[in-house]
Chain A
Amino acid sequence: MIKDRYDVVIIGAGPAGSVAGRFAAEKGASVLIMERDREAGIPVRCAEGVSVNGIKPFIEFDKKWVAATIDAACLHSPDGEKAFMYNNGKGLVLERRIFDTELCHLAVNAGAELLMKANATGLEYTGGKISGVHFRHQGENKTIKCSLVIGADGVESRVGRWAGMKTALNLDDLDTCVQYTVSGYKGEQNVCHFYFGLDVSPGGYIWIFPKSKGVANIGIGISGHLAEVKGPKEYLDEFMDKEYPEVQTNYIVYGGVPTAWGLEKYIDDNIMLVGDAARQVNPMTGGGIVQAMIAARLAGQVAAAAVEKGDFSYSFLKQYKKDWDVKLGSIQKTMYSMKEKFMRMDDGRFNKLVQICQNIPREEFSLKRLFMESMKGDPKLMAELARAFVVSKINLKKN
């Protein structure tokens, strides 16, 4: 039975919600996590790629949520050339259905409560302050009281809107995505692939992440501002017909990835946003699982401290923003400037970058080396990226 009141109510049981819940509950806060769906991590709107190092601090390694180990990434240029980047087992493809459930278990073990099939519909205000969450559960409208709301409601980010935050994304800060989970895939099981090009995937890329034998996630994300005439599914279908006509699609999901640098305002009296809801995805790669967990730990810790002190004001909660800016927030802005450049790059530039990668011997491959070689191979591009980097630093200082 759920109680009438909690210190903290978290909306959404994705990686952001369950990690925030765990770290808040661990320090003694009473926490309820509510989730609209019947099960965390379902449907899987995700390519499921992460780095081993990224998830290590949050969960003990267990092969039951690992679908594949990745040793190399193959980049495909618009002119059909390939280049390999090696990372020797440092990449993983998850079974997110199991992974997300496992993160929920960890939250529950720390003392958080879970309420599934509960759709938050609004915030309750008392004397102008947030005092609870309205939701629909088992056909009834209900309200639960709390001192702090954490919006971990993913790309939709409606919780923030209810609190007056401007979470609506510009069209060029959203990737619109389609993914097929296929069987009959004959590619290597330890290599993922990325395809670039204006005719292939404008403003984004096509990915292939192999899972178990013969199964793979093949998906596409294109920038929202380039999706008017032709949508992501049309691009992906053309690609599949050309490159992988033999595979069978078992599962189709649609989804959106926020590729903004972050949000101006994601904390206020009695409320914080975390994960996709706070636009904490890496805008360059579209990866958001690890980012969401990192932010959620910070938010959860600040939530617990707020409960201990009985202070839920913006001036107390803003510690979360300070911590995030130190940890990743500043890198986000650099990544965002780079995304802006990459999104507008022509095919010639992509061809050149892949050529540069090709010339680095396998045993000498590192991102630093790639950067050095790129400087030599395409000084103009590198100058632009460097400028983007500097500009982002200046912007950061201003904020």
Chain B
Amino acid sequence: MRIITELCDICGTCVSVCPADAIIVEEFQVSIDNARCIECGKCRQVCPARAIEGDVK
């Protein structure tokens, strides 16, 4: 999973559904820690800005 920084609004919606605590929020950037990500696709489904891409397991 990957967050397209240019599209991301840093709204935290993806973080709220991630079952693996894999999403990191910094002051100006949100990113995914692929070592923790289980590729469930929940973040991609709820991102209102459609800023997340990647394949779901």
Contacts and interface: CB of A to CB of B under 8 A. Distances in A.
Given A158-B25, A171-B42, A254 B16 contact: no
Interface in B1-54: 9, 11-13, 15-19, 21, 25-27, 42, 45-50
Nearest to B48: A254
Given A156-B15, A254-B11, A176 B48 contact: yes
Contacts of A170: 17
B11 A171 contact: no
Given A174-B46, A176-B48, A227-B46, A119 B16 contact: no
A27 interface: no
Given A158-B15, A254-B11, A224 B25 contact: no
B33 to A, nearest CB: 13
A170 B40 CA distance: 12
Interface string A168-200: 111100101110000000000000000000000
Given A176-B48, A228-B45, A256-B48, 6 more contacts: A157-B16, A158-B21, A168-B18, A177-B13, A233-B49, A255-B11
A114 B12 CA distance: 22
B40 to A, nearest CB: 10
A233 B50 contact: yes
B18 A177 contact: no
Contacts of A117: 27
B8 to A, nearest CB: 9
Interface in A147-175: 154-158, 161, 167-171, 174
Nearest to A220: B48
Contact of B16 (A36, A178, A253, A256): A256
A156 B48 contact: no
A137 B13 CA distance: 23
Contacts of B16: 155-157, 167-169, 174, 256, 258
A134 interface: no
Nearest to A137: B27
A231 B48 contact: yes
Nearest to B50: A231
Shortest Cβ-Cβ A-B pairs, 3 listed: A256-B13, A156-B12, A254-B48
Would you call the interface of chain B mostly helix, strand, loop, or mixed?
A: loop
15 contacts: A36-B27, A155-B12, A155-B15, A156-B12, A156-B16, A157-B15, A157-B16, A169-B16, A171-B42, A177-B48, A254-B9, A255-B13, A256-B11, A256-B13, A256-B46
B54 to A, nearest CB: 14
Would you call the interface of chain A mostly helix, strand, loop, or mixed?
A: mixed
Nearest to A158: B15
Interface residues of A, number: 32
Contacts of A157: 15-16
B19 A45 contact: no
A154 B9 CA distance: 15
A329 interface: no
Contacts of A167: 16
A174 B45 CA distance: 11
Contacts of B47: 176, 231, 254
Interface in A39-97: 45
B30 to A, nearest CB: 10
B45 to A, nearest CB: 5
Contact of B11 (A37, A161, A224, A253): A253
A321 interface: no
B48 A171 contact: no
B18 to A, nearest CB: 6
Contacts of A255: 11-13, 48
Contact of B27 (A45, A136, A158, A224): A136
Contact of A45 (B11, B18, B21, B50): B11
Interface in A213-259: 224, 227-228, 231-233, 253-256, 258
A227 B44 CA distance: 10
A155 B46 CA distance: 13
Given A36-B27, A119-B27, A224 B46 contact: yes
Contacts of B48: 176-178, 231-233, 254-256
